[in-house]
Amino acid sequence: MDTAFFAARQRGESLFVAHAYPYAPDRSTFLIEADNASWYAAGLENYARQVSAGHTDRDSVSLLQEVFNAELGGRPLLTNRTQWSRFVNLALQRWSIGNVVLLGDAAHTAHYTLGSGTKLALEDAIALAHALTGEASVQEAFDAYEQTRRPPVERFQILAQRSQAWWDSYRLRHHWPIDQLALSFMTRAGNLMLRDFANEQPEVTQGALSQFGLDAPGDPEIAEKWLLEQPLAHRSLALPHRWLSRDCVVRLPAIHEMTWREPDVWGQAADNAVAELQENSSPVLVTAHEDGNVSGRVDFAERLRLELDQPVGVELPSDQRALAATTIAAGRADFAVHH
């Protein structure tokens, strides 16, 4: 491959996504993902069951060469004990015991779609080296190393988990227009806002915002304000703009408010909530009694918007105007309420 790219290809009921990038003049990584629905629809569990440890799943490789024939230019996929696997999200209560200390993936993992596993390991090693030269004992050094590294690692793991969830639910948005999909992809982890994306990709931003109204801007200086001032009209719901005060929402009829506090928006509790809301034809507002777990509310609102046929809003702190604009632009909610 000449450059990094993503490609999604459908085969019957199965959707396969490739992440490809070069690592040598004549070699590239070609990583392919499939969700559970694809796994069973394509019979991949039967292929995997027949492969012993240390061997290549040649039936899956043959299928994937056919699916991605255009991207491969008819060339074969090179294999090296190539098998399907599930990513392991690892977190430990402690990173050392006695004179043994762990770093990198041995101590913590972060989903590869953010591409920082090696970076995190090297940063661990640097912090550990500093601690070993700056503390009086090995145990004190290990404690200092963990106290230094655990907060940034855990923050990054949250970003990586959101990226993983975006890809796990890719089937629900792969049909979107490419500009909207690109904006959603680049802001999926929550560390980039609409303004950041517009600074780098003004034309793509303009294309993504064109669904909200005429004369959509790509200029990062006005994109956020323009978007939040756009009206919303959807059957029983008509809003003058998309960034509303709590007082304004109280006066609106037929909005179903739902408090969400859970971090996992794809678990059983969320499944039950979605099923309940699917029987309700009213617009939904995901609310909170406190400002904690803001990302969880946004992610749950996004799931609702992907699976329900009605507008979805999310309640955010009043100082999160930039997040509100990004959330709406990327298709995670239709409107936002501040308190």
- pLDDT tens for the chain, 339 residues: list them: 889 989 999 999 999 999 999 999 999 999 999 999 999 999 999 998 898 988 999 999 999 999 999 999 999 999 999 999 988 889 999 999 999 999 999 999 999 888 889 999 999 999 999 999 999 999 999 999 999 999 999 999 999 999 999 999 999 999 999 999 999 999 999 999 999 999 999 999 999 999 999 999 999 999 999 999 999 988 778 899 999 988 877 667 678 889 998 888 999 999 999 999 988 888 999 998 676 789 999 999 999 999 998 899 999 999 999 999 999 999 999 999 998
Q: Do 208 and 277 fall into the same domain?
A: yes
Residues with Cβ within 8 Å of 125's Cβ and at least 6 positions away in sequence, in order, are 103, 104
Q: Do 102 and 224 fall into the same domain?
A: no
Please, are residues 14 and 42 in contact by the beta-carbon 8 Å criterion?
A: yes
Intra-chain end-to-end CA distance of the chain, in Å:
49
Q: Which of 123, 145, 168 is the last residue of a domain?
A: 168
Q: Do 185 and 318 fall into the same domain?
A: yes
Strand, helix or coil at 158?
helix
Sheet-wide strand order for 312-316: 243-245, 335-338, 312-316, 284-287, 256-259
Q: Do 253 and 223 fall into the same domain?
A: yes
Residues with Cβ within 8 Å of 118's Cβ and at least 6 positions away in sequence, in order, are 104
Give the tokens for residue 115: 């591409």
Q: Name the CA radius of gyration of the chain, rounded.
A: 23
Q: Do 225 and 284 fall into the same domain?
A: yes
Q: Which amino acid is present at 321?
A: R
Q: Is residue 290 part of a domain?
A: yes
In angstroms, the CA 12 to CA 16 distance is 11
Q: Is residue 233 part of a domain?
A: yes
Q: Beta 284-287 vs 256-259: how paired, if at all?
A: parallel
| Element containing residue 148 per DSSP (H, E) | helix 138-168
Q: Is residue 155 part of a domain?
A: yes
Q: Is residue 87 part of a domain?
A: no
Please, are residues 77 and 27 in contact by the beta-carbon 8 Å criterion?
A: no
Q: Is residue 81 part of a domain?
A: no
Q: Is residue 45 part of a domain?
A: yes
Q: Is residue 101 part of a domain?
A: yes
Q: Do 220 and 269 fall into the same domain?
A: yes
Q: Would you give the DSSP letter of residue 52? A: P
Q: Is residue 33 part of a domain?
A: yes
Q: Do 11 and 116 fall into the same domain?
A: no
Q: Do 249 and 159 fall into the same domain?
A: no
Domains of the chain: total? 3
CB atoms under 10 Å from CB of 234, counted, come to 13
Q: Do 116 and 51 fall into the same domain?
A: no
Strand, helix or coil at 246?
helix
Q: Do 254 and 205 fall into the same domain?
A: yes
Q: Which of 325, 333, 323, 337 is nearest to 300 (CA)?
A: 333
In angstroms, the CA 69 to CA 52 distance is 27
Q: Which of 168, 198, 226 is the last residue of a domain?
A: 168
Q: Do 199 and 232 fall into the same domain?
A: yes
Q: Beta 14-24 vs 5-11: how paired, if at all?
A: antiparallel
Residue 35 belongs to what domain range?
Answer: 5-72
Q: Do 11 and 144 fall into the same domain?
A: no
Write down the pTM of the prediction: 0.89
